[in-house]
Amino acid sequence: MHEIQPKNPLHGVTLEQLLNELVSFYGWDALGLKIDIRCFTHDPSITSSLKFLRRTPWARERVESLYIEMVQGMSAKQR
């Protein structure tokens, strides 16, 4: 069963969508400064980043946290 999670900003968002939105919003350079991981700073690509994030829980947590901050910041500006 799928539960409805209206307050969870990650609900229904794939890792690829999340990463694409972060790259679109920040760009690779700023993303690499905010989260210093090699897949963001050296020849970055969505594919290599997805591979790394899927097998590295601590990095994925940081990326998800940054995404939540971005979403909350955008919704706060709309008020």
Question: Distance between CA atoms of 79 and 3, rounded to whole angstroms?
Answer: 28
Name the one residue in this structure whose structure tokens are 């901050």. 69
Name every residue whose Cβ is closer than 8 Å to that of residue 33 and which is 6 or more positions away in sequence: none
Q: What is the pLDDT along the chain (79 residues), one digit of tens a residue?
A: 456 666 778 888 999 999 999 999 999 999 999 999 999 999 999 999 999 999 999 999 999 999 999 998 876 776 6
Q: Provide long-range contacts, Cβ within 8 A and 24+ apart, for 61-65.
A: 62/35, 63/18, 63/19, 63/22, 63/35, 64/10, 64/18
Which domains, from first to last, does the chain contain? 15-78 (1.10.720.30)
Q: What is the pTM of this model?
A: 0.84
